[in-house]
């Protein structure tokens, strides 16, 4: 047993790796059922980091206020003011995905409370909205300030596994489903569905993400599916990424929109160059990595979720071997910088400032871990700024800087 646990890391024994610090834990009474497994399949942070939502079981979603300074959940003490910061949404069916809108509340609370449920009277830019994907294929939109259901988006024929709002504030929502499609919804246009992307073989879509500059859309799914679309009309596939050997279940862009991390049941996370479509780095969760014939089947090291921190220096992963890992991408080590033991972890997500990693479990609970506090190097911060302005590296060779720096900016050196 000892050797089996140690083999989940490339080089080191888990006892030799730093233990991540747990800062909080949430568990709902709705997760406690008689012999029934309640799965927390999605966690979500609001763009400003002040709200956190998680699917807590039996069709319920819990929304709470987050204390950024203390990295703690603001507990409700029973008065009306604190209760307004916590809501329990009864979605009526199994919850599979969550996503916050990008527009903060700008109107008065009275205007929000008086908003009618009729869709054509709703201005989604007035308040924070939580989108919830459920097993029937519907997408429910909830008002985060008063806890009311605003409207329902209905076009998918099977459960909605993933949701993501465009980070440019355009109120465009993308949804991925078991029906093999991704759909774009424009909340500024009465919530109308504006476009449908078909996967090549009607693959189940496990995860979909907009790039931070909202110019690309990535999706991953069953049968090793990883696609990147250009998000300007006519919508075209930029790359079909080939390298995984099993279903790809999670993906996330780096803050500069240059890198895409994908997590797969083949026990690996691959980091890709978005513009070139090339694999730059591989993070293994099983050593030695399984051969293709074994990686394509069942194993105890499925990687369930991957997420980038805001600085782009850390990557969080959750795997079936019982560990949550935080990888320092600026380090030359093949091991994670810190680990924590998590039973049946399913999903994870860094908060907007990158200091806290939330991990949802099959039992319906949420663990919160603090990442190592470190200031990214000036070299890395310069790379982030340059690549944000020059996402396509074709122009980088013409910069008047040393050749070694050009290689670093192009992620040829980490």
CA 219 to chain centre: 12
Cβ atoms of 251 and 260 closer than 8 Å: yes
Instruction: Give the start-to-end residue ranges of the domains of the chain.
Output: 2-376, 377-414
Give me Rg for the CA atoms of the chain.
21
CA distance 84 to 106: 17
This prediction has a pTM of 0.91
Fold of 2-376: Methylamine Dehydrogenase; Chain H (2.130.10)
- What is the pLDDT confidence band of residue 337, given thresholds at 50, 70 and 90? very high
pLDDT 10s digits, 100-122 = 998 654 333 333 344 334 444 57
**pLDDT range class, residue 64, cuts 50, 70, 90:** very high
Residue-wise pLDDT tens digits, 170-188: 999 999 999 999 999 999 9
More confident residue, 233 or 269: 269
Q: Residues near 26 by Cβ (< 8 Å), separated by ≥ 6?
A: 54, 56, 62, 64, 73, 365, 366, 368
DSSP string for 230-271: ESSSSPEEEEE----SS-EEEEEE-TTSSEEEEEETTSEEEE
pLDDT mean over 235-255: 97
pLDDT at res. 27: 82
- Torsion angle, CA of 236/241/245/247, rounded to 10 degrees? -40
Q: Which residue has the higher pLDDT, 356 or 331?
A: 356
pLDDT digits (tens, 9 = 90+) for 183-238: 999 999 888 999 999 999 999 999 999 999 999 999 999 999 999 999 988 899 99
């Amino acid at each position: 047993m000892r050797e089996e646990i140690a083999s989940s890391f490339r080089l080191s024994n888990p006892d030799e790796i730093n233990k991540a610090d747990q800062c909080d834990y949430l568990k709902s009474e709705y997760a406690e059922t008689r012999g029934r497994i309640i799965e927390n399949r999605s966690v979500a942070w609001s763009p400003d980091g002040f709200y956190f939502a998680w699917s807590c079981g039996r069709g319920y979603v819990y929304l709470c206020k987050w204390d950024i300074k203390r990295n703690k959940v603001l507990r409700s003490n029973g008065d009306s003011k604190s209760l307004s910061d916590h809501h329990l949404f009864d979605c009526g069916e199994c919850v599979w995905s969550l996503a916050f809108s990008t527009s903060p509340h700008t109107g008065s609370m009275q205007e929000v409370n008086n908003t009618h449920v009729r869709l054509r009277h709703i201005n989604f830019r007035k308040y924070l909205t939580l989108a919830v994907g459920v097993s029937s294929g519907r997408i429910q939109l909830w008002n985060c300030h008063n806890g009311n259901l605003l409207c329902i988006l209905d076009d998918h024929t099977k459960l909605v596994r993933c949701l993501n709002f465009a980070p440019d504030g355009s109120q465009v929502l993308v949804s991925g489903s078991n029906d093999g499609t991704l759909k774009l919804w424009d909340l500024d246009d009465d919530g109308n569905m504006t476009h449908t992307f078909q996967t090549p073989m009607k693959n189940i879509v496990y995860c979909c993400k907009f790039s931070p500059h909202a110019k690309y859309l990535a999706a991953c799914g069953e049968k090793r599916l990883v696609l990147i679309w250009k998000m300007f009309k006519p919508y075209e596939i930029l790359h079909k990424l080939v390298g995984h050997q099993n279903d790809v279940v999670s993906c996330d862009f780096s803050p500069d929109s240059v890198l895409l991390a994908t997590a797969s049941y083949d026990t690996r996370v691959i980091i890709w160059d978005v513009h070139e479509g090339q694999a730059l780095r591989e993070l293994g969760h099983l050593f030695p990595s399984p051969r293709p014939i074994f990686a394509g089947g069942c194993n105890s090291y499925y990687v369930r979720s991957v997420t980038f921190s805001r600085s782009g220096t850390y990557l969080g992963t959750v795997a079936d071997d019982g560990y949550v890992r935080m990888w320092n991408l600026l380090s030359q080590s093949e091991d994670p910088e810190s680990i924590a033991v998590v039973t049946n972890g399913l999903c994870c997500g860094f908060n907007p400032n990158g200091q806290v990693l939330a991990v949802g479990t099959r039992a319906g609970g949420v663990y919160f871990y603090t990442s190592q506090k470190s200031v990214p190097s000036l070299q890395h911060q310069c790379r982030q700024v340059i690549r944000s302005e020059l996402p396509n590296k074709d122009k980088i060779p013409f910069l008047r800087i040393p050749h070694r720096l050009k290689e670093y900016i192009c992620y040829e050196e980490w």
